[in-house]
């Protein structure tokens, strides 16, 4: 029986469980860092008020 190679899905890269865990941990860390940055900008905007862009050189 002939096998049509177009029917076979490419295997690609399969991550091990350790790689998946590491990637998830890194992704969470990046998300937390970006979230903290957003919160920081928000709080500083509240602190500085309307003159947030007025600051000494």
Partner 1 sequence: MSLVSESPEFGVHPAHGVAGVRLEPSIASVSDYIALLKPRVMSLVVFTALVGLMTAPGHMHPVIAFTALLCIAVGAGAAGALNMWYDADIDAVMSRTSNRPIPRGRVAPGEALAFGLTLAAFSVAVLGLLVNWLAAALLAFTIFFYVVIYTIWLKRSTPQNIVIGGAAGAFPPMIGWAAATGGLSVEPCLLFLIVFFWTPPHFWALSLNRADDYARAQVPMLPVISGAEETRRQILLYSIVLLPIGAAPWLLGYADAIYGVTALLAGALMVALAWRVRNTREGAGARRAAQQLFGFSIVYLFVLFAVLLVDGLSGGHLSGLVGLA
Which tokens is 22 given? 């590491």
Of 9 and 55, the one with the shorter C-beta distance to partner 1 is: 55
- CA proximity to 25, closest of 33, 46, 7: 33
Give the torsion through C-alpha atoms of 3, 6, 12, 14, to 10 deg.
Answer: -50
DSSP state at residue 8: S
Show the site string, 38-57: x = touches partner 1 by CB under 8 A, - = not.
--xx-xx--xx------xxx
Considering only 19, 31, 35, 39, the residue that binds partner 1 (CB under 8 A) is: 19
Q: Which chain residues interact with partner 1 by CB under 8 A? A: 13, 15-16, 18-19, 22-23, 25-26, 29, 37, 40-41, 43-44, 47-48, 55-57
């Amino acid at each position: 029986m002939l096998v049509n190679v177009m029917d076979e899905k490419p295997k690609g890269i399969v991550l091990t469980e350790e790689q998946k865990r590491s990637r998830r941990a890194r992704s969470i860390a990046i998300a937390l860092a970006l979230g903290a940055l957003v919160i920081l900008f928000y709080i500083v905007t509240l602190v500085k008020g309307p003159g947030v862009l007025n600051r000494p050189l």
